[in-house]
């Protein structure tokens, strides 16, 4: 489009294009290299410090992590590149309402530390599907949940984070978006395959610091005259070219309200209070990515401390992401707030809308050389921390819950290899899903994430909640509740893709169930329906067995430890396989005398290479080491709390809840 056809509101990016670079320069590249060296150093240190050749060591970091790195890792895992891009994009498109998801999460992460984590610790589980297998017996719910979790990770996590990171790289380097995705996958796959959970947690702690510093620096540069100026100028950030006689490109009148009209708004307030809390409960109390980090804590006090740290940090996204997104629209209304499909296609390649480029636009237009490299590091930190966390947890679920049930005689070596190969398969599927992410929900990436969550997560929330707090819940009730809830939820999700939200210039011809039932309201309906099915079927069938209740509910978490016959047999089988694995490893690493005399010279280099590969993959084996199977009690952090520390964390609990309530009330 010619310049005369596309007038630009000041400051003009077209004018700036000729006077300053909009891609990374040498100084930025140097900053990026320093960032990668720092992360690599922390990753290698944590790999050296942690024993990764056991299941607990690799997947749960030896269950010996303190509160601060775990809390920082929770924040970094939750706030990925999808949140930097998505929250800023939602702020640019619709105002501050999306912040409610973050502040709602403040309350839910505290629920995990005080109510649900003691149950998971007492049950001595590694994965969330494993908890349901113990609570309800049988394998069908465990396997069903494994597949469902992996689908959720693809739909709402992996592909979204890859797309968001690629959008930023596309803006920074002017690369094709799929070339950017391939680059991101190469970096992330290398980082994920080499390290266990401990490496992920420690590098996440470093990346959290980088994200906070970078986000606050951008806030300082994205200055439009103070917060009052944002309030005054955002309603006036209207693009110069938009579809006539429509609302295209016009900011919402309720942009600075979290609680909005219950019928006509984009985020109705009853749905924000109730419908939003349901998937948030799933994420913060039964998502494998989150709970796996909490199970790595050395004791319950440290687990509660990490919940508090993560809750306090969740205040920051409002200032680090949402407000900068709104400022980006004020500065660049024709690009970020484009109101014509042809203009949007020209600006960002997406005719649906360009609000998702808001954050990247600020970084590339406002920051000087060096700081652009720092913000690139921030985005890569957010991307790598979230993707490595998801890949590690997906690998845990697939390996421990699916593959170990398919191959009961699988050695620990086989489990490690299968977990890594599965990560590559998961990546390929996620890449194929990216075009649908790009086209969904009017270009608002964060809203896409939440809408999919409302359709898939409420049934799981109900099953976990009733399993933890209602002793009459049994396997049949939980199973049919999941089936009915998932069929209804997936039906609505498919309808949303078949009948996407019309653009501002289009007539809304969607079916009434989509047009008039907001996805937040649908979340409430789906939850009530699933709860009715679980309660009715559980009451109509047999009661759970005593071993399905003891140490698996809130009221029974302090019951004495008892081992069933099946568990003892399983432990004996694991010891047998571990012993055989140890023998095989020793035979490979330390050949017999006859073998040594015949092939010492030819195998010397191969042995060193094999040992190096074993160490990188966490499969190192020291000479003379025997396989160990410590008793479950030794692998589980204690539920006992020191009185002084208990009072300290409880006092912070009250403070944190008060902060969350104040934020909601002030911006309601």
Tens-place pLDDT, residues 56-88: 555 555 566 777 777 777 787 777 666 787 788
Tokens 């819950």 locate to: 401
485, pLDDT greater than 90: yes
Q: What integer pLDDT is reported at residue 15 of this predicted model?
A: 37
Token code pair at residue 281: 């409960």
The whole-angstrom separation of Cα 144 and Cα 147 is 5
Least confident of 55-69, 177-191, 201-215, 241-255: 55-69
CATH number at 428 reads 1.20.1730.10
Do residues 89 and 325 touch, judged by C-beta distance below 8 A? yes
Residue 604 domain-assigned (yes or no): no
Do residues 235 and 95 touch, judged by C-beta distance below 8 A? no
Of residues 179 and 232, the one with the higher pLDDT is 232
Average the pLDDT over 387-395 and give the result. Answer: 78
Residue 178 domain-assigned (yes or no): yes
Residue-range definition of the domain harbouring residue 174 = 22-453
Do residues 314 and 212 touch, judged by C-beta distance below 8 A? no
Residue 530 domain-assigned (yes or no): no
Range of 22-26, 85-89, 168-172, 259-263 with top mean pLDDT: 259-263
User: Residue 242: phi, psi to the nearest 5?
Assistant: -155, 165
Token code pair at residue 473: 């819940």
Q: What integer pLDDT is reported at residue 628 of this predicted model?
A: 43
pLDDT tens for each residue of 444-483:
556 667 777 888 889 999 999 999 999 999 999 999 999 9
Residue 145 domain-assigned (yes or no): yes
Q: Could you tell me which of 334, 360, 332, 363 has the C-alpha nearest to residue 346? A: 334
Q: What integer pLDDT is reported at residue 41 of this predicted model?
A: 77
Average the pLDDT over 429-454 and give the result. Answer: 66
Q: What integer pLDDT is reported at residue 626 of this predicted model?
A: 44
Q: How confident is the model at residue 134 (pLDDT cuts 50, 70, 90)?
A: very high
Residue 196 domain-assigned (yes or no): yes
Q: Could you tell me which of 183, 192, 186, 105 has the C-alpha nearest to residue 446? A: 105
Do residues 386 and 80 touch, judged by C-beta distance below 8 A? yes
Average the pLDDT over 574-595 and give the result. Answer: 47
Q: Could you tell me which of 98, 24, 74, 140 has the C-alpha nearest to residue 474? A: 140
Least confident of 103-117, 473-487, 594-608: 594-608
Q: What integer pLDDT is reported at residue 643 of this predicted model?
A: 87
Residue 119 domain-assigned (yes or no): yes
1, pLDDT greater than 80: no
Q: What integer pLDDT is reported at residue 632 of this predicted model?
A: 40
Q: How confident is the model at residue 561 (pLDDT cuts 50, 70, 90)?
A: confident
Give the long-range contacts of residues 242-246, CB within 8 A, separation 24 or more: 242/338, 242/339, 242/340, 243/339, 243/340, 243/504, 243/505, 246/339, 246/504, 246/505
Do residues 473 and 534 touch, judged by C-beta distance below 8 A? yes
Which residues have CB under 8 Å from 666's CB, separation 6+?
none
Q: What integer pLDDT is reported at residue 63 of this predicted model?
A: 60
The whole-angstrom separation of Cα 185 and Cα 486 is 31
Residue 528 domain-assigned (yes or no): no
pLDDT tens for each residue of 228-275:
899 999 999 999 888 887 878 889 899 999 999 998 888 899 999 998
Q: What percent of the chain has pLDDT over 70?
A: 73
Q: How confident is the model at residue 8 (pLDDT cuts 50, 70, 90)?
A: very low
Range of 255-269, 275-289, 612-626 with top mean pLDDT: 255-269
Least confident of 67-76, 166-175, 350-359, 540-549: 166-175
Q: How confident is the model at residue 135 (pLDDT cuts 50, 70, 90)?
A: very high
Of residues 391 and 592, the one with the higher pLDDT is 391
Token code pair at residue 34: 């320093």
Q: What integer pLDDT is reported at residue 629 of this predicted model?
A: 42
152, pLDDT greater than 90: no
486, pLDDT greater than 90: yes
Of residues 292 and 661, the one with the higher pLDDT is 661
What angle (nearest 5°) sits at the alpha carbon of residue 419, between those of residues 414 and 422? 120
Q: What integer pLDDT is reported at residue 81 of this predicted model?
A: 64
pLDDT tens for each residue of 302-324:
889 888 988 999 999 998 889 99
591, pLDDT greater than 60: no
**Residue-averaged pLDDT of the chain:** 77
User: Residue 419: phi, psi to the nearest 5?
Assistant: -60, -40
Do residues 356 and 168 touch, judged by C-beta distance below 8 A? no
pLDDT tens for each residue of 315-365:
999 988 899 999 999 999 999 988 888 888 888 877 878 888 898 888 888
627, pLDDT greater than 60: no
Residue 125 domain-assigned (yes or no): yes
Do residues 434 and 96 touch, judged by C-beta distance below 8 A? no
Element (H, E) at 526: helix 519-540
Bond into 11 cis (ω within 30): yes
Q: What integer pLDDT is reported at residue 660 of this predicted model?
A: 93
Residues paired with residue 65 on neighbouring β-strands, in sequence order: 297
Tokens 């500065």 locate to: 331
116, pLDDT greater than 80: yes
568, pLDDT greater than 70: no
Q: What integer pLDDT is reported at residue 290 of this predicted model?
A: 84
Give the long-range contacts of residues 627-631, CB within 8 A, separation 24 or more: 627/575, 627/578, 627/579, 627/581, 627/582, 628/54, 628/578, 629/571, 629/574, 629/575, 629/578
655, pLDDT greater than 80: yes
Structural domains counted in the chain: 1
User: Residue 638: phi, psi to the nearest 5?
Assistant: -80, 150
């Amino acid at each position: 489009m010619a310049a005369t056809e596309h007038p630009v509101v000041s400051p003009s990016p077209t004018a700036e294009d000729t006077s300053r670079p909009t891609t990374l320069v040498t100084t930025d590249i140097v900053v990026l290299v320093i960032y990668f060296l720092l992360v690599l150093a922390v990753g290698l240190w944590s790999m050296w410090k942690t024993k990764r050749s056991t299941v607990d060591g690799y997947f749960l970091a030896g269950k010996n992590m303190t509160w601060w790195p775990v809390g920082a890792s929770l924040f970094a895992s939750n706030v990925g590149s999808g949140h930097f891009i998505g929250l800023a994009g939602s702020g640019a498109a619709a105002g501050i309402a999306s912040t409610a998801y973050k502040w709602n999460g403040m309350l839910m992460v505290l629920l995990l530390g005080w109510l649900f984590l003691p149950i998971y610790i007492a049950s001595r589980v590694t994965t969330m599907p494993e908890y349901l297998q113990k609570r309800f017996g049988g394998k069908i719910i465990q396997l069903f949940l494994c597949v469902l979790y992996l689908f959720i990770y693809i739909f709402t996590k992996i592909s979204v984070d890859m797309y968001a990171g690629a959008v930023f790289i596309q803006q920074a380097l002017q690369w094709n978006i799929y070339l950017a995705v391939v680059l991101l996958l190469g970096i992330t796959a290398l980082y994920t395959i080499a390290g266990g959970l401990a490496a992920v947690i420690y590098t996440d702690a470093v990346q959290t610091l980088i994200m906070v510093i970078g986000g606050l620096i951008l806030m300082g540069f994205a200055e439009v005259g103070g917060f009052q100026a944002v309030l005054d100028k955002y309603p006036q950030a209207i693009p110069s070219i938009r579809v006539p006689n429509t609302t295209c490109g016009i900011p919402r009148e309720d942009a600075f309200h979290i609680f909005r009209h219950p019928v006509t708004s984009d985020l109705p307030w009853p749905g924000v209070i109730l419908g939003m809390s349901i998937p948030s409960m799933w994420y913060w109390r039964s998502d494998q990515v989150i709970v796996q980090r909490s199970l790595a804590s050395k004791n319950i006090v440290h687990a509660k401390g990490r919940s508090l740290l993560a809750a306090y940090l969740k205040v920051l996204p409002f200032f680090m992401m949402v407000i900068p997104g709104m400022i980006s629209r004020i500065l660049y209304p024709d690009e970020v707030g484009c109101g014509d499909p042809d203009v949007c296609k020209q600006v960002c390649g997406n005719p649906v809308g360009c609000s998702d480029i808001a954050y990247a636009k600020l970084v590339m237009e406002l920051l000087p050389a060096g700081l652009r490299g720092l913000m690139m590091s921030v985005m890569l930190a957010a991307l790598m921390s979230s993707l490595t966390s998801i890949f590690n947890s997906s690998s845990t679920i697939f390996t421990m819950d699916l593959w170990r049930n398919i191959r009961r005689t699988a050695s620990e070596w086989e489990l490690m290899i299968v977990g890594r190969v599965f990560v590559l398969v998961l990546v390929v599927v996620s890449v194929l899903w990216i075009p649908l992410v790009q086209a969904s929900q009017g270009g608002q990436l964060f809203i896409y994430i939440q809408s999919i969550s409302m359709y898939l997560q409420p049934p799981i929330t109900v099953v976990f909640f009733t399993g933890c707090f209602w002793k009459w819940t049994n396997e049949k009730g939980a199973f049919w509740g999941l089936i009915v809830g998932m069929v209804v939820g997936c039906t609505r999700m498919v309808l949303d893709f078949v009948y996407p939200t019309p653009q501002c210039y289009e007539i809304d011809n969607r079916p009434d169930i989509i047009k008039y039932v907001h996805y937040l309201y649908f979340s409430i309906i789906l939850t009530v329906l699933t709860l009715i099915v679980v309660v009715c079927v559980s009451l109509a069938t047999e009661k759970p067995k005593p071993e399905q209740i003891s140490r698996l509910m809130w009221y029974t978490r302090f019951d004495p430890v008892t081992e069933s016959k099946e568990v003892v047999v399983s432990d004996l089988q694991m010891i047998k396989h571990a012993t055989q694995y140890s023998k095989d490893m020793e035979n490979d690493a330390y050949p017999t005398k006859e073998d040594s005399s015949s092939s010492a010279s030819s195998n010397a280099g191969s042995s060193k290479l094999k040992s190096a590969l074993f160490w990188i993959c966490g499969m190192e084996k020291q000479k003379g080491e025997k396989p160990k199977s410590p008793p479950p009690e030794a692998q589980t952090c204690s539920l006992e709390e020191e009185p002084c520390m208990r009072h300290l964390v409880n006092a912070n609990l009250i403070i944190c809840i008060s902060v969350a309530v104040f934020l909601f009330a002030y911006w309601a």
